[in-house]
């Protein structure tokens, strides 16, 4: 008889369930009447089932797809062993905000796209597992309480979005005295004012921000840098040894068509801020009406557009049209967001572009004139250019129009910081350490790359923290 321990057979693609474990969701008919979270998260049983689908590959492709190179098989292995604390530690090592990223990262274009199982089956539900672990940690009240040795250096962060928060987290752990200055009355950046509660509850962001405060990060809201004081003043008069700029790309873009001065036209950021940050969705309990009508046309088909459409439904709009000049194939929104918007009743008009807004006698939008488009030759971005079809004009009887056409850099920092180099679109230029042309001034996130993603902004914030520590040491 052979007493040698039996070698565990390596799992292959044939051994696993072909489909991702489904995530429970609120029913579409019910959820479009409330702001509660749509995706409810895995139970422990579901998470264990999904973790079993990971092949724990020798050469895991998923890591290459993750912008911050999380040890994905490592954390999933710990989930499968029910060692959630260790799984959380692995996630936290590379991702400062796993509960946020588990909810909003475009995994289908990142780690799940490159996951080996995706060649033949559904990819492993990496995002759903990440969210499960992060939510489990929140429920258990796990916090990292590192020993911090003060290094006597003072660093200021301008902007409290994911880039600023991630940068602040790494710097405070390294012993710096960190102060975040935020223009709005609440910290969180787009996570708070842009992404609605039903995708990312504010409570989740607040827990992450409170954890930073407990580590010693000071946050000063209602402070517009460039207006109350400038960056040169911060470095020369306020005693900061370095400054990080993570001001995002929040300036709206317009289509430059007739009628854009009418009432009832919003930029998506203004619209979403009124609802999310100013509690417009709690009117009349909160005295902040949004001022929208009941027939809403949203222009664009990215995540911001999907948020504006779905918020409109929840605000009681009778009709919500999503109008986009290309096709669903070119739409930049996450697949899940498009799917949810369709389920909830948003009506999509592909290959359609607005050409004019028409108003009533009181100066309010009463209709939007559009033209049908067809796809022509590829443009500089490699996508086929939309070309108007002559004589195809038609009207939407819309009383509210929301522009979600992308955003631009806000010029306030560049305009008040002599010597700061920006590119032709106004985005700040940085070197490989995220340092700008001004020594000691660093930048990262959307203000450097243009509108991107939460994980990329966070990654840039952490890269800048490394750069700042190197700069301070050399200084
Ligand atoms: P921001 O999050 O924009 O934060 C910048 C902060 O700086 C803001 O709080 C701003 O008030 C503050 N600020 C600006 N100027 C000053 C100043 N002069 N002084 C002081 N403070 C200032 N990405 C995803 O990965 N998944 C998604 O599902 C997703 N959905 C999105 C939905 C919407 C509606 C929007 C608008 C974006 C979405 N994104 C999504 C993109 C993502 O949120 C951004 O790429 C990311 O937030 C950028 O982070 P940031 O820290 O660079 O800037
Ligand atoms: Fe698991 Fe997919 Fe990564 Fe392989 S590529 S380790 S299956 S998540």
Helices (H) then strands (E): counts for the chain = 18, 16
Cα 7 to Cα 22: distance, rounded to the nearest angstrom: 32
Residue-level pLDDT at 283 = 59
Burial of 423 (0-12, 13-18, 19+ CB in 10 A): exposed
Task: Name the residue with the closest Cα to ligand 2, atom 5.
Answer: 115
Query: CA–CA separation, 88 vs 84, rounded Å?
Result: 6
Q: Which residue has the tokens 């940085």?
A: 430
Give residue 242 CA to ligand 1 midpoint distance, Å.
22
Sheet holding 242-245, edge to edge: 218-220, 177-181, 154-158, 242-245, 441-443
CA distances (Å), origin 225, targets 24, 278, 421:
43, 22, 18
Angle at the Cα of 74 (from 92 to 25), degrees rounded to 5?
70
Give the pLDDT confidence score for residue 1 in this predicted structure.
Answer: 45
Is the pLDDT score of 52 beyond 80? yes
* CA-to-CA separations, 210 to 103, 113, 173, 179, 462, in angstroms, rounded: 19, 33, 15, 14, 19
Q: Could you tell me the domains of the chain?
A: 15-23+36-140 (1.10.1060.10), 154-250+409-474 (3.50.50.60), 252-406 (3.50.50.60)
Q: Which of 112, 117, 125, 129 to mutate to test ligand 2, by most ligand atoms within 8 A of the CB atom?
A: 117
Q: Whose CA is nearest to atom 24 of ligand 1?
A: 453
171 pLDDT above the threshold of 50: yes
Structure tokens at 444: 């990262």
Atom 3 of ligand 1: nearest residue by CA position: 248
Q: How far apart are CA 69 and CA 95, in angstroms?
A: 9
- Which atom in ligand 1 lies closest to the alpha carbon of residue 181? 20
Q: Encode pLDDT of 111-121 as tens digits.
A: 999 999 999 99
- Tens digits of residue pLDDT in 2-30: 555 556 678 888 888 999 999 999 988 88
d(C-alpha 42, C-alpha 44), whole Å: 6
Closest-CA residue, ligand 2 atom 1, reads 54
**Per-residue pLDDT reduced to its tens digit, 253-272:** 899 999 999 999 999 999 99
The Cα-based distances of 378 to 65, 111, 300, 382 in angstroms read: 26, 28, 19, 5
How do residues 268-303 score in pLDDT, each as one tens digit?
Answer: 999 999 888 766 566 566 666 667 778 999 999 999
- The span from the CA of 175 to the CA of 155, in Å, is 10
Give the number of the ligand closest to the Cα of residue 122.
2
List pLDDT tens digits, range 373-400.
Answer: 999 888 877 778 899 999 999 999 999 9
Percent of the chain with pLDDT over 70: 96
Those residues whose C-beta lies under 8 Å from the C-beta of residue 41, and which sit 6 or more positions away, are: 23, 24, 128, 131, 132, 135
3-state secondary structure of 47: helix
> What is the Å distance from ligand 1's center to 192 Cα?
9
Q: Tell me the average pLDDT across 183-193.
A: 94
Q: For residue 295, what are the CA distances in angstroms to 105, 177, 400?
A: 30, 50, 6
Does the beta carbon of 117 sit less than 6 angstroms from any atom of ligand 2?
Answer: yes
> Given the CA of residue 410, which atom of ligand 1 is nearest to it?
15
The pLDDT value given to residue 296: 94
pLDDT of 216 > 90? The answer is yes
CB of 15 closer than 6 angstroms to any ligand 2 atom: no
Q: Are 355 and 257 in contact (CB under 8 A)?
A: yes
Q: Residue 255 CB: number of other CB atoms within 10 A? A: 16
3-class DSSP state for residue 372?
Answer: strand
Give the position, in ligand 1's atom list, of the atom nearest the Cα of 250.
3
Q: Give CA–CA dist 335/328, Å, rounded.
A: 10
Per the structure block, which two tokens stand in for 290? 């949004």
Q: Which two tokens stand for residue 434?
A: 């995220």
Helix ranges (DSSP H) in 81-114: 84-94, 98-104, 111-114
Among 40, 48, 50, smallest CA distance to 20 is for 50
Instruction: Compute, in angstroms, the gap from residue 76 CA to the centroid of ligand 2.
Output: 9
> Distance (Å, rounded) from C-alpha 301 to C-alpha 327?
9
Q: Which of 199, 197, 205, 192 is nearest to 41 (CA)?
A: 199
Q: Which residue has the tokens 């006698």?
A: 361
Q: Is the Cβ–Cβ distance between 89 and 446 less than 8 Å?
A: no
pLDDT beyond 60 at 46: yes
63 CB-side CA count, 13 A: 16
* Average pLDDT score over the chain: 91
Band of the pLDDT at 158, cuts 50, 70, 90? very high
Give the pocket of ligand 1 (CB within 6 Å): 104-106, 158-164, 181-184, 189-190, 194-195, 224-226, 246-248, 250, 272, 303-304, 307, 334, 410, 412-413, 445-447, 451-455, 457
CB 179 within 8 A of CB 156: yes
152 — alpha (psi -120 to 50), left (phi > 0) or beta?
A: left
- CA of residue 118 relative to chain centroid, distance: 24
With the most atoms of ligand 2 within 8 angstroms of its CB, the residue from 50, 51, 70, 72 to mutate is: 72
């Amino acid at each position: 008889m052979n007493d040698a321990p039996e070698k565990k057979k390596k799992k292959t693609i044939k051994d696993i369930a072909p489909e991702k474990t489904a995530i429970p969701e609120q029913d579409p008919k019910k959820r479009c009447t409330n702001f509660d979270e749509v995706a409810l998260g895995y139970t422990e049983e579901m998470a264990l089932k999904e973790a079993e689908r990971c092949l724990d590959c020798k050469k895991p492709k998923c890591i290459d797809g993750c912008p911050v190179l999380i040890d994905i098989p490592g954390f999933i292995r710990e989930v499968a062993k029910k060692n959630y604390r260790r799984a959380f530690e692995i996630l936290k090592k590379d991702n400062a905000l796993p509960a946020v990223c588990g909810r909003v990262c475009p995994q289908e274009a990142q780690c799940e796209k490159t996951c080996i199982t995706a060649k033949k089956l559904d990819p492993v539900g990496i995002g759903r597992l990440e969210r499960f672990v992060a939510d489990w940690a929140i429920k258990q009240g796990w916090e990292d309480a590192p020993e911090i040795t003060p290094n006597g250096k003072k660093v200021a962060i301008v902007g409290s979005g994911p880039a600023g928060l991630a940068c602040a987290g790494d710097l405070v752990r390294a012993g710096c005295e960190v102060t975040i200055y935020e223009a709005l009355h609440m910290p969180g950046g787009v996570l708070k004012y842009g992404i609605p509660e039903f995708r990312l509850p504010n409570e989740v962001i607040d827990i992450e921000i409170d954890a930073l405060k407990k580590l010693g990060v000071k946050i000063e809201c209602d402070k517009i840098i460039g207006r109350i004081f400038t960056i040169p003043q911060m470095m020369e008069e306020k005693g900061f040894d370095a400054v990080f700029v993570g001001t995002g790309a929040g300036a709206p873009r317009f289509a430059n068509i007739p009628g854009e001065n009418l009432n009832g036209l919003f930029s998506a950021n203004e619209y979403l801020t009124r609802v999310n940050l100013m509690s417009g969705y709690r009117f009349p309990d909160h005295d902040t009406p949004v001022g929208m009508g009941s027939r809403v046309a949203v222009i664009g088909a990215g995540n911001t557009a999907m948020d504006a459409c779905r918020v409109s439904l929840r605000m009681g709009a009778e009709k919500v049209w999503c109008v986009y000049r290309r096709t669903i194939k070119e739409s930049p929104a996450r697949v899940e967001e498009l799917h949810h918007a369709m389920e909830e009743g948003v009506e999509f008009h592909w290959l359609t572009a607005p050409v004019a807004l028409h108003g009533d006698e009181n100066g309010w939008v009463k209709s939007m004139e559009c033209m049908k488009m067809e796809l022509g030759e590829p443009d500089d971005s490699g996508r086929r250019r939309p070309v108007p079809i002559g004589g195809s004009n038609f009207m939407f009887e819309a009383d509210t129009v929301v522009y979600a056409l992308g955003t631009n850099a806000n010029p306030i920092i560049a305009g008040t910081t002599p010597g700061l180099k920006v590119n032709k679109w106004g985005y700040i230029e940085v070197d490989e350490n995220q340092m700008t042309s001004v020594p000691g001034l660093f930048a990262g996130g959307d203000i450097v790359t243009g509108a991107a993603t939460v994980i990329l902004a966070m990654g840039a914030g952490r890269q800048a923290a490394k750069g700042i520590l190197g700069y301070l040491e050399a200084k």
